[in-house]
Structure 1
Amino acid sequence: MPKPISMPTPRRPSSKVARELLQKVRDVGGDADAILRHAGLPSGLDAMLRSAWAAPLSPDQFTLIYRECVAALEEHDSRRQGRPPMTKSEVDMLCYCVINCATLAEAIARAAAFCAMLDGRAAELSIVTMGAQAEFRMHTFRRKRDTAAFLTDLTGLSTYHRLFSWLIGEDIEPLSVEVCYPLLIEEEVAARLMPHPIAYARADNLLHFPARYLDQPIVRSYAELVDLLKTFPFDLETIPSKRMSMAKRVRATLGGALARRTPLPTLDTLARQFSISGATLKRRLADEGASMQQLKERCRHDLAIDLLADESLSFGDIAQRVGFSDATTFSRGFKAWTGISPSAYRQAMASPE
């Protein structure tokens, strides 16, 4: 049975990780003290490196330090390769490109297509399946395999793992993690950036995980993504995923199918996607006080409400979008949901208070 994502457990931000990152920034000629000032720590890196230094970092401070350190290391590596760096706004745009995909496999394919358009400023992404195992490859174009390149690529691999898990609302347990670098930082620091066992000095940057995850539906919304991207992927100290009930996962999947104008998946189809039996899915929904029919009706109701706000759409258009045969049938169904007709609802929306 798939392991659900646990509730986020706040952890004290790691000063050790911050010190390591800041030291590497200084090593490549970056202004580590300026980063600390931006984080509200004017004492500077030398003070932070002293063994007696024990000032705690807030989550916001750690996120800012991590983000600016990775940006500085990426800029350093890009400059020596004669290309612009990949920016946080481009990472955000990649996430926006995949949020409306139907499945994780589709999201990975779209992420790969996005990265291919960046002309070498992003890694080359690919996914292949070998029986029951999937291999996600993040092929780097970095010519120099030093600490700066290692830290930025490890952050990238961790980012994709966390993003893929978040998109499907389920913790993807990798079978193995491989990187094409030797261990160039303290192992404890590497483990905070990628909290899974890592094999070093391999042929490429790889994540191996059960192929069944590829068929999992994307269950996150655009609004959730906007909130996530305020700090992602640099908010390591709190897990961005939240526990999702089965009812919410099913409802999100049904809503996505309606939005894409594809047939609503059946209970058995969803069960296969979630890697459980139909009976188990039905039981878990019942335990949460929901049923497949209730969730379908809720999704159709919500979409109808949204579409009625667009006065350019006829009731026949809306009926087709929400799965009714014609406007008359839609009107009866809408009145059963709300107690009023679609025309009365639209008129009430348009009337000034």
Structure 2
Amino acid sequence: MARRTITVHQVRALLSGVRRGGVDIVPLLQAAQIPPLLLGDARARVTTAQFIRLFHALYALTDDEFLGLGPQPSRPGTFAMMCQASLHCRDLGAAMERGVRFYGLFPGGPDLLLERGGPEWGAHQAGEEAAFIVRNDFTAEEERFLAECLVIIWHRLCSWLIGRRIALRWATFAFPPPPYADEYQQLFGCPVRFGAERTGAGFAAHHLGAPLVRDEADLALMLRRAPFELLSRRAYGTTVAEQVRRALVRALGDSPRLPELGETAARLAVSPATLRRRLAADGTSYKELKDTVRRDAAIVGLAEGDEPIAELAARLGFSEDTAFHRAFRRWTGTTPGAYRLLSHDPGAAPEGPATGAS
């Protein structure tokens, strides 16, 4: 299965809180098996496993659920208690209100708001739309990343509570586009705007009346895997782009030849033109999805496995090693051999002036 990979810009953002405090990040990166040299390459990406290891290393160092990203730390167990307080509410709206009030008890913590309609949306939307708002005036880079994470986690938590994915209508951020702004469409699955007056996300208000379907056992399981259970995009329904990506991932596991657009369209029972149009509405294309599935599979294979590079290239559908090397350099700025060397030995120095041996 080709798991998603994570841009190095998000790795930098995750580290920005401890870097502000003067912490040496090299041991943290090495503990996560992330080559420190990757942080200097804007095209580099890491695996989910590497990112999770980095999160755990930061959590152990900071003893802070916000990993040093916020103006004030959040003591371990705070999020779990908020979930406990909200779990037995009558519906999602009541659960969100209770969660907002819970975090309001902590000075310097997230200043959150559940808004039900509003004049700025127009009279025709009154009562039709709700929004989750982060009201903090986050200005530092690390605080902006925390604001982004708060919107993601609250959206996924709400979807988890009612057992189905809540489709977002919009997401806005009161700061300039970050270096990984093109990742936001994948993260939120809706139109995204930067430089807005406030940070938050809107959704259909009828979700607020949905009953909660989770119990204590479900919560215990989710908390053991938090926050990655919530940061992932699994479950609760999918966009067309996610359906196509899942089909491509399955196909890549069965054969090195990825299906053409027409084959996938037939499998999804739509015409090729309809599939192109729906993917465009999701902010992507069939070619881009094929490319990212191969890219993510290549990075995971090199970072976490020991399959010979020639065999990995053939498994991913490349007829020649040279074609795989060109594609990998375009994806990451380095060669497959250099990426594997650094991933397996994060302290290793690359050979040559650019990217090392392949």
Q: Which residue of 2 aligns with 1:175?
A: 169
Of the candidates 20, 30, 36, which is equivalent to residue 37 of structure 1?
Answer: 30
1:223 equivalenced with 2:211 (yes/no): no
Alpha carbons of structure 1 residues 65 and 218: separation in structure 2 relative to 1, 3 Å: same
Alpha carbons of structure 1 residues 237 and 124: separation in structure 2 relative to 1, 3 Å: closer
Q: Which residue of 2 aligns with 1:184?
A: 178
TM-superposed CA distance for 1:112, in Å, is: 1.2
Q: Quote the Cα distance in structure 2 between the aligned partners of 1:62 and 1:222.
A: 28
Question: How many residues are matched?
Answer: 225
Q: Which one-letter code corresponds to 1:214 in the other structure?
A: L
Q: Does the CA-based 8 Å contact 2:65-2:73 persist in structure 1?
A: no
Q: Quote the Cα distance in structure 2 between the aligned partners of 1:122 and 1:237.
A: 18
Q: Which residue of 2 aligns with 1:164?
A: 158
Q: Quote the Cα distance in structure 1 between the aligned partners of 2:221 and 2:69.
A: 30
TM-superposed CA distance for 1:139, in Å, is: 1.2
Of the candidates 155, 158, 167, which is equivalent to residue 149 of structure 2?
Answer: 155
SS of the residue aligned with 2:110? coil
User: Equivalences for 1:178-327 in 2 at 5 Å?
Assistant: 178-191=172-185, 193-235=187-229, 238-239=232-233, 241=235
Q: Quote the Cα distance in structure 2 between the aligned partners of 1:199 and 1:157.
A: 14
Q: Does the CA-based 8 Å contact 2:13-2:141 persist in structure 1?
A: no
Q: Quote the Cα distance in structure 2 between the aligned partners of 1:236 and 1:219.
A: 16
TM-superposed CA distance for 1:207, in Å, is: 1.5
Q: Quote the Cα distance in structure 2 between the aligned partners of 1:161 and 1:202.
A: 19
Of the candidates 54, 58, 63, which is equivalent to residue 65 of structure 1?
Answer: 54
Partner deviation per Cα, 1:56-115 (whole Å, 9 max, x = no partner): 63x33322324666968956554xx5xx31245212221121111121011011101101
TM-superposed CA distance for 1:159, in Å, is: 0.6
Structure 2 unmatched ranges of 5 or more? 118-125, 238-358
Q: Quote the Cα distance in structure 2 between the aligned partners of 1:52 and 1:133.
A: 38
TM-superposed CA distance for 1:179, in Å, is: 1.4
Moved more, 174-183 or 125-134: 125-134
1:100 equivalenced with 2:100 (yes/no): no
Alpha carbons of structure 1 residues 228 and 74: separation in structure 2 relative to 1, 3 Å: closer
Alpha carbons of structure 1 residues 66 and 18: separation in structure 2 relative to 1, 3 Å: farther
Q: Does the CA-based 8 Å contact 1:178-1:202 persist in structure 2?
A: yes
SS of the residue aligned with 2:224? coil
Q: Which one-letter code corresponds to 2:156 in the other structure?
A: R
Q: Does the CA-based 8 Å contact 1:24-1:148 persist in structure 2?
A: yes
Q: Quote the Cα distance in structure 2 between the aligned partners of 1:178 and 1:51.
A: 24
TM-superposed CA distance for 1:176, in Å, is: 1.0
Q: Which one-letter code corresponds to 2:29 in the other structure?
A: L
Q: Does the CA-based 8 Å contact 1:147-1:185 persist in structure 2?
A: no
Q: Quote the Cα distance in structure 1 between the aligned partners of 2:204 and 2:11.
A: 35
TM-superposed CA distance for 1:177, in Å, is: 0.8
Q: Does the CA-based 8 Å contact 1:137-1:207 persist in structure 2?
A: yes
Q: Which residue of 1 aligns with 2:249?
A: none
Q: Which one-letter code corresponds to 2:164 in the other structure?
A: E
TM-superposed CA distance for 1:20, in Å, is: 3.6
1:138 equivalenced with 2:134 (yes/no): yes
TM-superposed CA distance for 1:214, in Å, is: 0.5
Q: Quote the Cα distance in structure 2 between the aligned partners of 1:224 and 1:192.
A: 26
Of the candidates 100, 103, 120, which is equivalent to residue 108 of structure 2?
Answer: 120
Q: Quote the Cα distance in structure 1 between the aligned partners of 2:133 and 2:43.
A: 42
Alpha carbons of structure 1 residues 77 and 239: separation in structure 2 relative to 1, 3 Å: closer
Question: TM-score when scaled to structure 2?
Answer: 0.54
SS of the residue aligned with 1:217? coil
Moved more, 24-33 or 95-104: 24-33
TM-superposed CA distance for 1:23, in Å, is: 6.3
Q: Does the CA-based 8 Å contact 2:116-2:205 persist in structure 1?
A: no
Question: TM-score when scaled to structure 1?
Answer: 0.55
Q: Does the CA-based 8 Å contact 2:10-2:180 persist in structure 1?
A: no
Q: Which residue of 2 aligns with 1:246?
A: none
Larger Rg: 1
Q: Which residue of 2 aligns with 1:111?
A: 99
Of the candidates 5, 13, 33, which is equivalent to residue 5 of structure 2?
Answer: 13
Q: Which one-letter code corresponds to 2:161 in the other structure?
A: L
TM-superposed CA distance for 1:147, in Å, is: 1.4
How many percent identity over aligned positions?
20
Structure 1 unmatched ranges of 5 or more? 1-8, 244-353
Q: Does the CA-based 8 Å contact 2:167-2:203 persist in structure 1?
A: yes
Moved more, 197-206 or 10-19: 10-19
Q: Does the CA-based 8 Å contact 2:92-2:162 persist in structure 1?
A: yes
